[in-house]
Amino acid sequence: DTGVSQNPRHKITKRGQNVTFRCDPISEHNRLYWYRQTLGQGPEFLTYFQNEAQLEKSRLLSDRFSAERPKGSFSTLEIQRTEQGDSAMYLCASSRGQGNSEAFFGQGTRLTVV
């Protein structure tokens, strides 16, 4: 399968713990996006990368959130000191980033903070 891959698919963690999610984009795509989706809502933009450079961060991304894409390939999203409000589906998407290019989404990581 050459689509966007996210791991893990599900994560249950205790409040206050740190969690890290991984996203492997489609190999020739140089843009990578993170979104968060809560029940009954559409996905909300968190941040995006052009190759290894993080070009934009949403105000939704508090100081407890950090994302990296060290070699311009896979990306990680870390949440420190998780809170119950962090429970959501975290979606990764990638695109070619050239002109008008569509984004392809992974299946997401569902985070539950207990």
Partner 1 sequence: AQSVSQHNHHVILSEAASLELGCNYSYGGTVNLFWYVQYPGQHLQLLLKYFSGDPLVKGIKGFEAEFIKSKFSFNLRKPSVQWSDTAEYFCAGAGTASKLTFGTGTRLQVTL
Return residues touching partner 1 (CB under 8 A). 3-4, 31, 33, 35, 40-45, 48, 55-56, 91, 93, 95, 97, 100-108
* DSSP string of 58-98, one letter each residue: -TTS-TTEEEE-TTSS-EEEEESS--GGG-EEEEEEEE--S
Instruction: Please list, in sequence order, all residues whose beta carbon lies within 8 angstroms of the beta carbon of residue 105, skipping any fewer than 6 positions away.
Output: 4, 91, 92, 93
Rounded to a whole number of angstroms, the minimum distance from the CB of residue 18 to partner 1 is: 26
What is the C-alpha to C-alpha distance for residues 45 and 47, in angstroms, rounded to an integer? 6
Whose Cβ is closer to partner 1: residue 84's or residue 100's? 100
Which residues are registered as beta bridge partners of 93?
33, 105
Neighbours of 30 (CB within 10 A): 18
Kindly state the smallest distance separating residue 20's Cβ from partner 1, in Å. Answer: 20
Of 72 and 97, which CB lies nearer to partner 1 in the complex structure? Answer: 97
We find the least distance from the C-beta atom of residue 69 to partner 1, in angstroms, to be 15
Encoding tokens for residue 2? 């050459």
The nearest distance, CB 34 to partner 1, in angstroms, is 11
